[in-house]
Chain A
Amino acid sequence: MESTALSGGAMLRLENIHKRFGKLEVLRGINLEVKRGEVVCVLGPSGSGKSTLLRCVNLLEPPEQGEIFVEGHDICKGPGSAAGEAGWELDFVRQRVGIVFQQFNLFPQKTALENVSLAPERVLKRPPKEARAKGTALLERVGLADKLDEYPDRLSGGQQQRVAIARALAMDPHVMLFDEVTSALDPELVKEVLDAMRELANEGMTMIVVTHELGFAREVGDQVVFMDDGVIVEQGKPADVLDNPREERTKRFLGLVLER
């Protein structure tokens, strides 16, 4: 396919993504290209389809129409066709694309370290010793060296979210998706999570960040995307979109967010 060749330089490329839940069309033709090492921040009112977009990218919610290329590889052949899961490259995408959720979703019966080392052991078949060593290093990296053996319910929201980041990183993803990861946190815990993400961005990780943190988008984002009603309304450099929005809907949204 022609687009495969074109997407050679892109880490991730979405073409005309459509997704509906029953009658509700949540995504109505999304096109997006994310370059290697780029940080794309996605803004938009609730219900605009931001989270669904992320969930499409790693096929938690496979799109009905459109193509998704990860590193030039079409992971979603023939969406909507009878092929179903057979047409999705689940293994390919899930071992390259990590996701962190708003509600952390840590495994409550496992310690912080076990949360991080479980998938590498079971999915990548790494020896337990190696997986634990790597998990320890990752937890140290997000500042949780002293919490290795704690269970999630003994950790603060910010600590849990950092464990979740380490857990996603343990699979050596090439792209990281962040789905409103600070929205469920108490205000004083937001910074520690954003710091961990900032550091990750500085190390060159390709990231798509759905967020309401305009400061983070401005400072860390290479590209800001504003979504509303299932479409991308406006996108560009953070300074352009955040400071000089062209579209009325973007202006209104930014006005509401800044008024808080």
Chain B
Amino acid sequence: MNEIISQYFDLSEMSKHFDQVLDGFVLTLELSLIAGTLALLWGLILSLLRQVPGKPFLPVRFLTVAYIDVFRGIPLLMIILLISGSLAFLPLPDAITIPHWLGKPDTFWYGVMALTITYGAYMAEVYRAGIEAVPGGQMEAARSLGMSHGQAMRNVIVPQAVRKVFAPLLNDFIALMKDTTLVGVIALNEVAHVGRDIQGEAFNSSALTLGAIMFLIVTLPLARLVDKLISREQSRFTRGAPRVEAL
């Protein structure tokens, strides 16, 4: 028992490395927020491209579906390695292949790219579910009032769809946040990488545990929020029925 406590919950070990771990976690948060925001936008764009009507856009729809299928089917870790390993050698401006925007290292931006590419595909599917859950009469009403497909999407369909899938999107965001730790393998000093370095030097995992606790401080309230949103959404559909309070 003592070994468990000293290996994972050594308070002096934790306090000694607290600043270092916190720095790593701040980087994790920054990575999550930037990649999460971009993935939310990219996913929405993908879901809209997937639904553009008309024959001329058939290739667009096909390519979008192919993209979504491909990047949901490849492990994020491999995407990270593929980007970080070879992007620098591509014949593109250095600002893109070896980015240092906002004073962040190139590994940070490789992580942002990989997370956006992969989670954009996941989120596109969530948005699609939301768009398809909006009754068809809404699009007909909007179109019959003279709105174009795009106007109807923007003003009528997407606002309703996003409301419906807010909880699953947030769920995906939590998953994305946890997956930022994978960017540690390309030596970005996010919280897991920092924790692992300390672990290697100190032969003690308490710094990593500290990082895990920092994760929980953020993810647990978010998970509760997701639950709350889901039950609220459901009670909208079962209005009038007796409400079962969540435990």
Contacts and interface: CB of A to CB of B under 8 A. Distances in A.
Interface stretch (A95-103, A203-211, A225-233): A95-103
Contacts of B144: 58, 60, 94, 98-99, 168
B159 interface: yes
B33 interface: no
Nearest to A94: B146
User: Which of B54, B55, B140, B144 is most buried by chain A, counting CB atoms within 10 A of its CB?
Assistant: B144
Nearest to A118: B155
A60 B159 contact: no
B131 to A, nearest CB: 14
Given A98-B144, A118-B155, A85 B54 contact: yes
B146 A109 contact: no
B51 to A, nearest CB: 15
Contact of A105 (B137, B146, B151, B163): B137
In this complex, the interface size class of chain A, counting residues with CB under 8 Å from chain B, is 20 to 34
Contacts of B156: 107, 118
Interface in A128-185: 164, 167-168, 171
A109 B159 contact: yes
B12 interface: no
A85 to B, nearest CB: 6
Contacts of A98: 144-145
Point out which of A109, A124, A164 has the most chain B C-beta atoms below 10 A from its C-beta.
A109
A58 B55 CA distance: 21
Contact of A167 (B54, B137, B145): B145
A109 B163 contact: yes
Nearest to B144: A99
A106 to B, nearest CB: 8
B138 A123 contact: no
Interface in B141-155: 141-147, 151, 155
B137 A103 contact: yes
A171 B55 contact: no
A98 B144 CA distance: 7
A84 B55 contact: yes
Interface in A91-125: 91, 94-95, 98-99, 101, 103, 105-109, 118-119, 122-124
Interface string A42-85: 00000000000000001010000000000000000000000011
Interface string B200-234: 00000000000000000000000000000000000
A101 B141 contact: yes
Nearest to B137: A105
Contacts of A167: 145
Interface of A: 58, 60, 84-85, 91, 94-95, 98-99, 101, 103, 105-109, 118-119, 122-124, 164, 167-168, 171
